[in-house]
Amino acid sequence: MRTLVHPSIDDVRLEAILHALSDPVRAEIFATIATGACIQNCSAFAAVGDRVIPKSSLSQHFKVLREAGLIRSERHGVEVRNSSRCGEVDGRFPGLIAAILDAHGKEQASVAKVAE
């Protein structure tokens, strides 16, 4: 099995974070992990919203989030468990994650209103 690469917090770049979160599926995955009370398995995201995400696409989304420094992934048997690195990222870029999650929440609320 390939080793999962996690950048040192000193190597995390703002551009990589913004790129990773520019995709709506990745933004939703990250928001769920960041605001969740427990570690999430990759398989928990087989469907995001009303969209079914192919396993290969899902793997790529997690790779981008991991390499941007936003999540930590650990293998446990055949599962990969994901947790946020919000505390570390907030130490490097104070207030960034809170602002992103707040904006994401407002966006989701706006989309939900339009759907009603």
Check pLDDT > 80 for residue 27. Answer: yes
What are the boundaries of each domain within the chain? 12-115
Check pLDDT > 90 for residue 18. Answer: yes
Stronger pLDDT, 81 or 13, i.e. the higher one: 13
Buried b (16+ CB within 10 A) or exposed e, 90-116: eebbeeebeebbeebeeeeeeeeeeee
CATH number of 12-115: 1.10.10.10
Which whole number is the average pLDDT over 43-59? Answer: 76
Which whole number is the average pLDDT over 73-80? Answer: 85
Give the orientation angle of helix 24-35 with respect to helix 55-67, to 10 degrees.
70
Give the orientation angle of helix 96-115 with respect to helix 24-35, to 10 degrees.
110
Per DSSP, the three-state class of 65 is: helix
Note the pLDDT of residue 114: 82
